[in-house]
Amino acid sequence: MESAPASPPMHATDPVWRIEVGRDNTPLISSPFLAEETQTFCAFTVEDQPALPVSVRTLASGRWRIELPAAGPIFCDLAVQESGGRFSWSIAVHGDAEQRTSLHFPFLRQLIAGAGSRVIDLFSLESAPGIPLLRYRDFRAPWAVTNDTHSLVVLHEGSLVDSAYSPARLSGVPGLPLPLGAEPATIYQGAIVQVEGGWRSAFAYIRAHLRAQLDLSQYQRDDLRWVDEQLVQHFTFLYGREILDLERGVLDADRFLDESERDFGGYDGFLIWGGYPRIGIDERTQWDFFDDLPGGRAALRSMAMRARQRGVRLFVPYLPWDRSHDLHGRPGPSDEEELARLIVDVDADGVFLDTLGMITPEFRQAIDRRKPGVAFCSELRTQGKALEIVTSCWEQSYTRDGLQGNWSAAPEYMPMLDLWRFVLPEHRLFVINRHAMADDRMRIIQRGFFNGIGWVVWMDIFGLTLPYMPAEAALLKKCRTIFRENLKALNGASPTPLVETLIPGLFANEFAGDMQRMWTLYNQTDQDMAGELMPHLPRPDCHLVDIWHAAAAGISPQGHMTATVESRSLGCVAEYPVLIELNKDRSAYCLHAPLGDRLIVRAGGFETELTPAAVRDWTPLPQGTGPFRIRLMDGKQVLDQIFLSGED
């Protein structure tokens, strides 16, 4: 079994890179990790003028200047260094003209990790033409070349949080816009590190490398643990019938929650939204609106209490753009004070930050002082230092058209992968494309499951209604149920994206907890897949379950996981430690389990629950017609499950 190392893995200690000045002063690089000697380490071009002649001058040992005489006063200084098996470079671009420039790294494409190596390209273009498989925004994405025994991790170094540009696809070319009159600056740093072990080890290294740049103490707060169980949140537009009783003009949370359970199997949280589109019709602020909603703040407090009794958390919105009172010269109390007062008055569980991606530590502390355990969630993708304070956010559609804006339903693609989910699994994400319908909405639900993240259910977009079809609601309910029952694996600290599969077009992510592991699968092809799906290194005394189909999964004689994934569909396999023991006593099966609070036996469409008292001793399997599905539960968590045909 290949396990993720807790500490950064060993590096190769022998020098592996040889850098010489080649023909025309061009740096020449050779290494056992390169398929061939590389004459050009880095090519520097002005965009749309790729054919410009380049001159390279040696400045000093390991330092070069690359010039494009025809492009005007713009040049690039390159420095490379090799030590302890780590090969690193930095590049500064100098120029006083506004140019879009590109840096090419042809040698990166020649990296090999040895026999059988494959590239884990974090911006693979293979899944759909023109559509990146992975979404990995706003910091410099690492990638890896890997085989079973060792990996080369390419790190784009420098500050994670101060990254000033969005990296282009790694398999391609970072485009670097140079501002007019820019000071010479180091704008690009990278390194190649050898890591022992295959892709899981390589990714563990990447994860550790990125996490080391962040203060993650907010994620360790006990008072915020409840957020770990938030899977489906509802955007509750208060002017619509989902919660508003149109006849009586009152907000009816009980009916709302009843219907959510009927249609979706329930929500974990809901965001009450009463501001837009009304706010601004007069001088009232967002804070005044909470006084004026039916029943005022007291009614909302009662709503929050009733929801919590049903296991549902209430979020209040904060509209950072509501500044009209200030702009009219009528400043009120600070937003921190007002928000804290609202949270206390309503006894809210969380705050939705709308279009605000970042809050100051002081803002966070102002709320903490008034009520512990308040979660913050932003509509915008939390980036950089904001990750240290805002511990959850929406995962809105990558393909959403910024120009078309909010009224455009962007097409959705599967699979798409959100790498931050795997770097920082503590940061809760909720996928939403508010205008997606039909197949696009199904792909949104699939994307949430494949990535192991949560969802936002939003059916009333400020008056435009896009209700869920029964099939959509059923798929979401199934996904949420699987996650709820397997949270220990889902929220494990060492998930790995894109583990190896045996079939082209089959994608798999691994979620590894201490006791359990889970794989989410997606079959991108038009053919159903059944049988051997992926290499599998089983943990001792564990067994596999195809939890998507509620059936046993297996391991083939070749050591491969066997299960089923239908065309263009999700799949899911879980690995449980063997806890349910079975004995056949004469003609009847007897059960035993050392842990858990109940056993649920399903047979012939009926479920029977056995209490711990019954199953700590050997207990006969309840009468029924097989096949049997037997699940050992601890609260909402499945600890183990087995299947019996009932015929033997």
The residue ranges that bind other proteins (CB under 8 A) are 238-242, 244, 246, 249-250, 274, 276-284, 289, 292-294, 296, 319, 321-324, 326-328, 405-407, 460-465
Query: Toward other proteins, which CB reaches closer, 264 or 548?
Result: 264
Secondary structure element (H or E) that encloses residue 308, with its range: helix 296-309
Length of the chain: 648
Q: Minimal distance in Å, beta carbon 137 to other proteins? A: 23
Among the listed residues 124, 128, 33, 120, the one whose alpha carbon sits nearest the alpha carbon of residue 82: 33
The nearest distance, CB 289 to other proteins, in angstroms, is: 7
Q: In the bound complex, what is the minimum distance in angstroms from residue 113's beta carbon to other proteins?
A: 49
| Residue 603: partners with Cβ closer than 8 Å, 6 or more residues away | 622, 624, 625, 626, 627, 628, 629, 646
Burial of 355 (0-12, 13-18, 19+ CB in 10 A): exposed
Beta carbon of residue 404, minimum distance to other proteins (angstroms, whole number)? 11
Q: What are phi and psi of 58, to 5 degrees?
A: -85, 125
Question: 352 or 628, CB closer to other proteins?
Answer: 352
Q: Among residues 130 and 463, whose Cβ is nearest to other proteins? A: 463
The residues facing 432 across adjacent strands are 396
DSSP 77-88: EEEEEEETTEEE
Compute the least distance from the CB of residue 246 to other proteins, in Å: 5
Side-chain-side CA neighbours of residue 128 (13 Å): 13
Is 275 or 350 the residue whose CB approaches other proteins more closely? 275
Q: Under DSSP, is residue 189 helix (H, G, I), strand (E, B) or coil?
A: strand
Q: How far is the CB of 316 from other proteins (least distance, A)?
A: 16
Closest CA to 446 of 562, 524, 535: 524
* Least distance in angstroms from the C-beta of 212 to other proteins: 39
Look at residue 641 and give its three-state secondary structure.
strand
Determine the Cα–Cα distance for residues 491 and 425; give it in Å rounded to an integer.
7
- CB 328: neighbour CB atoms within 10 A? 9
DSSP character for 159?
Answer: -
Distances (CA, A) of 403 to 48, 378, 399, 407, 408: 24, 21, 11, 10, 9
Residue 337: other Cβ atoms inside 10 A = 13
Amino acid at 471: A
The SS3 of residue 345 is helix
Under DSSP, is residue 200 helix (H, G, I), strand (E, B) or coil? helix
**Residue number, 109 or 241, with CB nearest to other proteins:** 241
Q: Which residues contact 9 (CB under 8 A, 6 or more apart)?
A: 195, 196, 197, 201, 204, 205
- DSSP letters, 257-272, are HHHHHHHHS--SEEEE
Shortest Å, Cβ 328 to other proteins: 6
Nearer to other proteins, 80 or 436 (CB): 436
Token pair of 153 as six digits = 């991790």
- Closest CB to other proteins among 323 and 369? 323
Picking from 279, 273, 263, 278, the residue whose alpha carbon sits closest to that of residue 314 is: 273
Report in angstroms how near the CB of residue 352 gets to other proteins at its nearest. 15
| Minimum separation from the CB atom of position 579 to other proteins (A) | 48
- Smallest gap from Cβ 612 to other proteins, in A, equals 47
For other proteins, the closer CB: 226 or 289? 289
Q: Which is nearer to other proteins, 72 or 296 (CB)?
A: 296
In single-letter form, the type of residue at position 445 comes to: I
Nearer to other proteins, 188 or 290 (CB): 290
Nearer to other proteins, 121 or 322 (CB): 322
